[in-house]
Structure formats: C-alpha cells, structure tokens
Structure 1
Amino acid sequence: CEPKSQDLAKCFLDSEPLREADEDAASEVHLNNSTMTEEEREEIQQELVKLEEEIGTLKQVLSSKEKQQAELRQKLGITPLSELKNNFSRSWHDVQTSVAFKKTSETFSTAGQKTSAAFSTFGSAITRKLGDMRKPEANVLC
C-alpha cells in the first residue's frame, strides 16, 4: 500500500482488532526466534523499520492536522472555556429533555403539592383547635 495524504488511515490502520491467533503467532515468533533463518530475521527487521517509518509519518500528519484544527478554532473564536461551556449547556439540555428527568421532575412536583396540601390541612386543624381552646365555654367543659 503506497501512502497518499488522503488514504493514510486506510493504508496504515488495520480495521481488524488484534485476535488471539495474532497474539499466539507473535509469541511463537518470539519463542522460536532461535530457529529463524537469517533471511527471515532480516525480512522481519526490514518490515519493522518500514512500520516504524509509517508510524512516524502518521504522527507528523496528525500533528499537522491538530495545528490546523487549532488555527481554525482560533479564527472562529472557539476557546477551550467556550467549548466547555457549550458542552455543559448541551449536556444539561439533554438531561432536562430526557424521559427519566421528566418523570423525576413530575414525581417531585406531585410530592411537593401533596406535602404542601398536608401542611395546609395540618395548619388549618391547629388553627381550629387553638380557636376552640380560646372559647370560654370550651374551657369550662374540659
């Protein structure tokens, strides 16, 4: 695969995750290092050098892209603080519009209304009792 700037990811990145078979093969090469021919060893060494060069190229491309990203963000006035603020606002909005938040909010609202009604009823009962105690005929009967 010949690397071109547009196809670096396709060229260098393996879409398949490392499988057990690959790990076993790697350990076999390491264990059987002494039985490897000089030609095989040289071939693997060349492959390693090539891979290290490709990694270096990818690091340079990534660094260049990160610099370009930083410049564009700066031109747009996007600072880390403003980005954090936007992410927080977006996340808070997502929480507020979630079904779980709405149900919890409704539950607390209902509980608050019931608690308020209970205190109101309790207050009315206390007021009535105090009013009854102030009446002179009520005190005589007690």
Structure 2
Amino acid sequence: MLDVKIIEDLVKPICEEKGLMLYEVLWVKEYGFQVLRVSVDKPNGGIDSDTLGLVNELLSEKLDAYDDDMPEYMLEVCSPGAERTLRNKEEILASVGQYVNVKTPDSTYEGTLLSYEGQTLVVEINIKGRMKKVSIEEADIKKIRLAVKI
C-alpha cells in the first residue's frame, strides 16, 4: 500500500494548481474494499462535484505510475464535509465568521465564530432569541467543528 505522505505529495501540486486546499488523505476499509479517500476543498468551502471529478481524474493519472505498489483499491476524492472538524489554529482562523459547534467539558455551544485571538475564541450564540457572546479558552475546547445552521 502506498504511503499517505507520497499520495499527499502527488495531490498537493494538483490542489495548488486548482486553487484548492488538501484537507486529508486516508486509507480506509469499507465493505471489504480498500478505499483511498482524498478530501479537498476550496479555501472558503463550497467545492463542486465538477472540481472533485477533475481532481480525481488528475490524481488517478499520477497514481497509475504506482500500480505495482498498490493493492486493488477505489479512489474517492471528496469534500471534507459541511460539519468537518477544525483540527488546528489555521483552520479555526479560516473559519471566523462561520457557524461552529464547540464542545467543552461542561457545555456545548453552537453559534457564529466571531474571533480567535491569542488563546480565546469568541462565539455568538442564540439564547431564547437573544444573542450573547461567549468567550471560550482554547484549553477548554474538547472539539470544534463547522456546523450547519438550522
């Protein structure tokens, strides 16, 4: 099986050329099949299926050179999802202005991420029709992800 790092090195130039960001490369087993899942997105989200198809085609051509080193697999190029986890400071900063879900040991907050400065997030939440700003220390965050506002 081809190492994820090698695959990342193959897909990064494609992403750069198309103005995309690489979110994740994973080998997963689904229903008995090896799946190479490559998640890409536009910097501000909203990638379309035509772009995903193009990346799939371009990456598939590059992977053909490694056929001898690969088991039988399926290539899946997809978006990271509307409710993807924000894994680092850069992803959190890029999400300022977006709707997020933040879990702390004591509570779960859902609202608009207003800022991320120093070690503190400020999220505007709706409590019974009134908007309130909540400051959350980075050390208290168990998980933060984008959320879909319903």
Q: Same fold (TM over 0.5)?
A: no
TM-score, normalised to structure 1, is: 0.20
Greater strand proportion: 2
- Structure with the larger RCO, 1 or 2 (CA within 8 Å, 6+ apart): 2
Q: Which has the larger radius of gyration?
A: 1
TM-score, normalised to structure 2, is: 0.19
Greater helix proportion: 1
